[in-house]
Amino acid sequence: MLHHVELWVPDLARAEATLGWLFTELGWTEHQRWDAGVSWRQGETYVVAEQSPALTGPHDRMKAGLNHLALHAGTRDDVDRLTHEAGANGWRLMFADRHPHAGGPDHYAAFLENEDGFEVELVARTDG
């Protein structure tokens, strides 16, 4: 089981606005907070967003490293609702011409990207 993921972000306020909205909508709760960061937890797993002074450049999902986080998002209706609300919360829909099957004909998901280039994939349960 995954323990945690730590994301270094260039702007903590932007990360909180986008990631914080999304994790809260998915049922995660704020876990820790300090001057340079915040984390959200679900079960034993948590995700950290930290604005580190050691950051050397912007995130680029196309380079080696983290490409995206794929998250369970409930039913297809849940994915649709989150996709609809995402734009007002700092996310843009990727692969709109293939949505919601950009991951293949049997895969129902929304691929979203925020201003800092972080991508999330919101995956619907296979049973509906």
Average pLDDT over residues 73-80: 98
Which H or E run includes 85? helix 76-86
Domain-embedded: residue 91:
yes
Distances (CA, A) of 66 to 30, 60, 128: 22, 8, 28
Q: What is the pTM of this model?
A: 0.94
- pLDDT tens digits for 92-111? 999 999 999 999 999 999 99
**In a domain? residue 61:** no
How many domains does the chain fold into? 1
Is-contact 31 20, C-beta < 8 A?
Answer: no
CATH number for the domain spanning 51: value is 3.10.180.10
